[in-house]
Amino acid sequence: MSQWSHLAVGFSGLTVGNVVMFAVGAILIYLAVKKEYEPMLLLPIGFGAILVNIPFSAATGEHGILTLLYNTGIATELFPILIFVGVGAMIDFEPLLQQPMMLLFGAAAQFGVFATMVVAAMLGFDLKEAASIGIIGAADGPTSIYVATRFAPHFLGPISVAAYSYMSLVPIIQPPIIRLLTTRNERRIRMEYKHIRISKTVKILFPIVVTLVAGMLAPISVPLIGFLMFGNLLRECGVVDRLSKAAQNELASLVTLLLGITIGSTMGAEFFLKPETLMILGMGIVAFAFDTAGGVVLAKFMNLFLKHKINPMVGASGISAFPMSARVVESMGTNEDPTNHLIMQAAGANFAGQISSIIAGGMVLALIK
């Protein structure tokens, strides 16, 4: 009988919090499998949340595998940085190089990062915690993880879950805000799209020059922007196709898998089941809403002075969530006028958002000591 009780030691240590976290893990897995909300991340995060909440689990603790993964991959910032190499190799910056003006929308759509930081500070979070919560508005998982690891590792779980969940919910979050801020006539504005051919030299030089400029302005952002642009250089140079494909596929997949389960392992009941978690999840939506508003309002402001008007919906694509945001704008545009296609302009703004979100992360790190 005593041997049996030894085997069932997990049950004896089970708490209500653990059971709730099993349910949270199951919900994340359900969202990943049934709803296909960022399944590459939410599924491993959900399973990691279950693993870490099994009482006396050998996967956690000083020598547990999840602790090892956390210490080597998250605490050192290795996993998010490696993800950037893969993301960079996946991005074709051509739509942005054709329409560099879209960079302004990428910048405006970072408003959510900073506005949410102010809201979080007003709610009583300290500045570093507030900045980590605000960075959910970067709509860029690795950037959120990178900043949260430095500034508020105790909130890494909820911040990551919010960042990835809301990215997949962009088609639900953005349209009502865009409708609220625009008139039907504005949503029907047509934008001329001129196809400009970009030389291979420009495509190769772009990642190098951007790294140099961003690095000189904010050296702390070099790991973020540098590895993103390194991945992009692999893609564009045309002579290391094997490395580019490895970065896009094997590297990105393997690191995503490890990153997800390791983030899940930060979701122990004692850390996750706090009122702050709900506040962070709530502020994540606020961040995405402010992002959207920032881009739309800038486009409307620019229209006061421009001869060729901008469809303000394109401004909303300045967030980093690619390609969801560009698709939302294209879909809303064709709903208003089936012959009005905005996908190329929105894609340009979306790519600008990817660069700007990383710059925003770097600025947050540089400005807060």
Partner 1 sequence: MSEVTAESLRVMILGMEAIFVVALAFWALILLLRKAFPVGK
Cα dist from 173 to 176, 287, 321, whole Å: 7, 11, 12
Q: Which stretch binds partner 1 (CB under 8 A): 71-79, 309-317, 329-337, 351-359?
A: 351-359
Q: Which is nearer to partner 1, 43 or 364 (CB)?
A: 364
Q: Which is nearer to partner 1, 38 or 276 (CB)?
A: 276
Distance CA 280, CA 276 (A): 6
Q: Could you give the string, one character per residue 200-219, with x where binding to partner 1 holds by CB under 8 A and - elsewhere?
A: -xx--xx--xx--xx--xx-
Count of residues near partner 1 by CB under 8 A: 46
Q: Which is nearer to partner 1, 179 or 200 (CB)?
A: 200
DSSP 247-284: IIIIIHHHHHHHHHHHHHTT--HHHHSSHHHHHHHHHH
Q: Which is nearer to partner 1, 82 or 283 (CB)?
A: 283
Cα dist from 142 to 213, 225, 242, 310, whole Å: 21, 11, 24, 31
Q: Interface with partner 1 includes 237 (CB under 8 A)?
A: no
**How many CA atoms within 13 Å lie on the side-chain side of 283?**
32
Identify the residue among 13, 61, 100, 238 touching partner 1 (CB under 8 A): 100
Q: Which is nearer to partner 1, 130 or 313 (CB)?
A: 130
CB of 127 to partner 1, least distance (A): 5
Distance CA 116, CA 166 (A): 15
Contact 252, 91 (CB under 8 A): no
Q: Interface with partner 1 includes 54 (CB under 8 A)?
A: no
Nearest Cα to 84, choosing from 128, 144, 131, 28?
A: 144
Q: Scanning residues 29 to 48, which ones bind partner 1 (CB under 8 A)? A: none
Identify the residue among 82, 113, 287, 293 touching partner 1 (CB under 8 A): 113
- Looking at residue 81, its amino acid is I
Q: Interface with partner 1 includes 127 (CB under 8 A)?
A: yes
Contact 137, 166 (CB under 8 A): no
CB of 118 to partner 1, least distance (A): 5
Distance CA 25, CA 2 (A): 32
**How many CA atoms within 13 Å lie on the side-chain side of 323?**
13
Distance CA 264, CA 157 (A): 7
Identify the residue among 43, 131, 169, 233 touching partner 1 (CB under 8 A): 131
Q: Which is nearer to partner 1, 118 or 254 (CB)?
A: 118
Q: Scanning residues 277 to 336, which ones bind partner 1 (CB under 8 A)? A: none
Token pair for 292: 């959207």
Helix (H) or strand (E) holding 369: none
Q: Interface with partner 1 includes 110 (CB under 8 A)?
A: yes
Q: Which stretch binds partner 1 (CB under 8 A): 36-44, 112-120, 241-249, 280-288?
A: 112-120
**Binding interface with partner 1 (CB under 8 A):** 96-97, 100-101, 103-104, 106-107, 110-111, 113-115, 117-118, 120-122, 125-127, 130-131, 196-199, 201-202, 205-206, 209-210, 213-214, 217-218, 352, 355-356, 359-360, 363-364, 367-368
